[in-house]
Structure formats: C-alpha cells, structure tokens
Amino acid sequence: MAKENNADIIIEQKIDSLLALMTLEEKIGQMTQVRHFDDLSDDNDIATKFIGSVIHTQGPLPGNGAAEWQARFTRLQELALSTRLGIPLLFGVDAVHGQNTYEGATIFPHNIGLGATRNAALVEQAAKITAIEAQATGFTWVFSPCIAIPYNEKWGRVYEAFSESTKLTEVLTRASVKGLQGNLLDRHTVMATAKHFIGDGATDSGTEGGETSLSSQQVQERLLPPYIVAVDEGVGSVMASFNSMSGRPMHAHKELISDMLKSAMKFDGIMVSDWKGYSRFGENDVINAGVDVIMAVEGDLDMYLEGLKSGVESGYVSLNRIDDAVRRVLRQKYRLGLFENPFPDSTLIEKIGIQEHRDIARQAVRESLVLLKNSKNILPLKKDLNKIVVVGEHANNSGLQSGGWTINWQGSTENYAGATTILKGIEKIAGGNVVYDADATGNHGDADVAIVVVGETPYAESFGDIGGEIDAYEITLTEAHQNYISNYVNKGVKTVVLLISGRPLVTTKQIEQSDAFVAAWLPGSEGDGIAEVLFGNYSFKGKLPHSWPKSEEDYNGKYGPNFWDDSITPLFSYGFGLR
C-alpha cells in the first residue's frame, strides 16, 4: 500500500510540474477529444491545437487491418509528442462487447446476456480479452461498461446494461472494470469508462435522453451503487448521460457530477462528455458542472475551443476548474504509462480473434441462454434425428445475431469476418440432417423438429426506442416472425424457438405455441455456443436478468424488480430459468 501511495505522490508531483508550464490553449487542448477523421482540418491539428484524445467511431476506418490501424494512431501520437510539452494522446473506442469496431475481433454477448450468466469470473475474462484486442488495434481507452439499471424495456439500450437488478449490476460492474483495467501499466489493459452517469436507463417511458423523474433517494438506492463499486475499483473515467434530472441535463448537473461523484465519492478520474455534449447541453455550463473532456465532434471543435477560452477569459469558467480537468487527464495518462510507452504494441495483433478468446466467448454464449419452456423435455435434442429444419434469417446471419455496436454503430444485417452463425453451429453438431428454411415457406412437415430463430434486427441508442421518434420497433415479434412459428406449429412439427433480442419481448402466445422456448439475447460472434446447449453438450445455466412481461400493458408503467407496480405480475420473474 505504501508503494502505491508513493507512486501516486510521484504522479501528482509530475502533474504539478507539467501544469505550471502549460498555456491556457494547451490545457484546453488536453480537454478535447476528436475523431481521427473529419473533425481535423488535417492531422497537424493534433499538434497545433494540442489535442488530448482521439476517438474512433462510425466512419472511415483507420486502415485495412490492425497493423494499419496501429500505424495510423502511431502517426497521430508522433504529432502529439512533437509539441513543446510532448503530452501523449489517449485513443478511445466504444468497445462494448469486445473490440466490436474491428471486423475479425472476438465479439461477446452483449451485457444483457452476460447478466444472464451471473458469472462474474467469466465477465472479468471477457473484459480482459476486450482490453487485449482493443490494445492490439491501437486503443488505450474503452467506453464501457454501461452500468445502467434499465427501468423500462422500451429503452433502446437495454442490452448494453447487465440487468434490472442493482445487486447483480454491482457484482458484474466490479468484474468488468477489474478485467479491463487490471494493472494499468500492463500493455494488455485499457482505461475503462462507467456510463452513463446517471439515470440513463430510468427515463420516463424508457426514452433515450429523456427525463428521469426518480427521487434523490431512489437514485441513490437504485442507480448509484454500481458507480460506487466502479469508483472503488479505480475506474479511470465516467461518461455523462444524455438524460435530464429535475429538468436539468446531466451534462450540466454540478450537484451530481462535482458534488456527489467527484467530492463525496472521491472519483479522481476523467469525467467525459457523450457525443457533442458541449453544444447540446449548455456549452460552458457543462465544464462548470465538472465535465473534464469534451467530445468535440461533427463541427463542434473550433466552436468549443474558442467558447471555452472565452469563458475562462471572461471569468465564467475558473482557471481552477480548468486545472482540475487537466490534472485528471494527465493523471490517467501517467497511470497508463503513456509518457514512457506511448505507442501500440505490434506483438498483440496476433491475439485478435484467436481460438482461446473465442472459446471464452462461446462459453459466455452457452451460459447466457435462458430456457423459458421445455415441454416433455424436448431439449436436449438428439444428434441423430432424421431431419432438423432451421428457420429464419437470424439463424444464418452473424450480424443479425450480434445486435447494435457490432462492426457498425447500428450493427449489421450481414455476416462479418470470423463469426459463426447459429445454423453453422447446428450443422456442425447434427451433421447432414439439417435443412435451412429462411422464411418458413419450405415444405418440411416431415421434420422431426423445427428450430425457429426469430427476433429483433440490430439497433443502437434512440434508434431502438419503442414508441420514440424513429418508432421502428415493437415490444412484440414482427408479424412475419410470429408466422414463422405458427407455420411449423400448424404443420404439427415439434418447435423449438430461439429468441434473438436485446430485451425481453411480449411473446406469451409464442411461448404457449412452442414446445421449447429459449431467450438467447444477442450472442455475438460465437453462434455455435447455442447449438452446444441445444444438443446437450452443455446444460442450460442462464437466469433471467430482467423480469419477463406477459402483455404489452405491462410496459405502460415503470418496470423492474424494484419498480414493479403491485398490480403487475410478470410472466416470468427475475431470476427464472429452467435447467
């Protein structure tokens, strides 16, 4: 402990020395995050505007493969190091279920599936692998885990969170942060981000960025505990949320950011804005509230640099606030060892998507599956059945099975490199007795069993809100997918339904119709893990991380284990899962 304290003291002394040398422009630069494309007039902006961090997100790729990604970020790092003070860059990415922006990386089940595993050791392993594959592609900072407590499944980000249970979320938060960060000086680890602070999943009607009308006591009892755990585990950053509370945007909520998180909870890391947080939520009010790093993207950069400088010069933003923000940025750069080792490690490239990593992801898939119905013990299936028909486009499409934040921000509707589809997994185990009926129009009434794979198409953020401005999703299956099930039930074929979704859906009728029904969530790249359980190589272990609704009316109020209206009884309670 004494050694750690001594190391912290040395870091603070180094920060003091560096801060004393910095101009206002250099300080504001350290508070600035840009994309490696579009936001820069050219790469030299990194040096001339003293940029502190770079984000990779939807848009042009850094290159054609990990070596080119590393080379791109090395070039930007060299520009940062060429400045008068030579302060290195942080490189951030939304690695929310593996290094999901890189095609060929290991993609884990989304957090809702990890919540169903109840396996903290497994979540920590998944986080360690995510850190390795993120570092291998040039990143030192990941914007995960999401530790929201979803209040209503109409929210389009339910799958990013572990559970509606505060207690389970606390346990898995600790595992995730520990796995991602480990020893920050180790080149296999990255800085984690607990997000989104606070109330993002508890908005009225589940609206992304809406109003969270909980009382202060409810926030502290239900939503805050995972953040307390994250801070206790030394999380390097926290991201502000898009929602508002008491009518005030969280980005500008000084009482919760500065007074609670930073002062009362003693969080000493970086408070980072979400997308365009400065221009969206009050400009310098965001800085005064305690946000330290701004995502100055999509045209915000010059407006932000000039606006913050003007705010300091006018006295609206104190120099003490600026120094606190820069101190927090520099502290994490020292903790990560970036001043000594600023460049990516090329030896990690060979670790991307390796079998050892995929084996852990496949284990996560197996343990995430929740068996909701198993009439007459139809599962596990016999491997020597004469004819198995696999139904539905989700069965043969790794993009559809993986959900949003997979290769693209909004996910993909196509197969991607390195992934195994559910169909391929079934074929591998069941041999040549499998036929595929993509749209349930085939004449397969003679099949011994139909495995019908239905679910949601990928979405992210507000695009997945139910009843929101985009309004592309329902809380039920589409009519087409309901018909997939009915077509085979009506043929008299024994029917096993796999639901691929980022949240519980109202499927009461479909559960009644089927012989077996499995909540498979969004399994990621290792679809064969599903077949391993269906055919009995492994047992079902998953338990519901959310209560399961029986009707659409259940969603009209607020919803979850701590939020249930006494008049609402779920179809399946939180924690349900057959063996």
Domain residue ranges in the chain: 25-350, 369-555
Task: Please compute Rg for the chain using Cα positions.
Answer: 24
567 or 290: which carries more pLDDT confidence?
290
Same fold yes or no, 25-350 and 369-555: no
Give the global pTM: 0.96
Q: Which amino acid is at 50?
A: F
The three-state DSSP-derived secondary structure of 454-489 is EECCCCCHHHHCECCCCCCECCECCHHHHHHHHHHH
274 counts as catalytic = yes
Q: Which of 300, 456, 461, 526 is catalytic?
A: 461
Give the mean pLDDT of 234-257. Answer: 97
pLDDT digits (tens, 9 = 90+) for 68-118: 999 999 999 999 999 999 999 999 999 999 999 999 999 999 999 999 999
Handedness of CA 304, 308, 309, 310 (dihedral sign): positive
Q: Which of 94, 200, 208, 274 is catalytic?
A: 274
Residue 396 contacts residue 436 (beta carbons within 8 Å): yes
Report the distance separating Cα 334 and Cα 545, nearest Å. Answer: 38
At 32, is the pLDDT very low, low, confident or very high (cuts 50, 70, 90)? very high
Residue in this structure with the two tokens 């559809």, named with its chain if needed = 400
Nearest-5° angle of CA 309, CA 312, CA 313?
85
pLDDT digits (tens, 9 = 90+) for 450-500: 999 999 999 999 999 998 888 889 999 999 999 999 999 999 999 999 999
User: What CATH code would you report for 25-350?
Assistant: 3.20.20.300
Q: Which amino acid is at 477?
A: L
pLDDT value at 332 more than 70: yes
Instruction: Please report the pLDDT score of residue 3 as a whole number.
Output: 45
Instruction: Please report the pLDDT score of residue 35 as a whole number.
Output: 96
CATH homologous superfamily for 369-555?
Glycoside hydrolase family 3 C-terminal domain (3.40.50.1700)
At 418, is the pLDDT very low, low, confident or very high (cuts 50, 70, 90)? very high
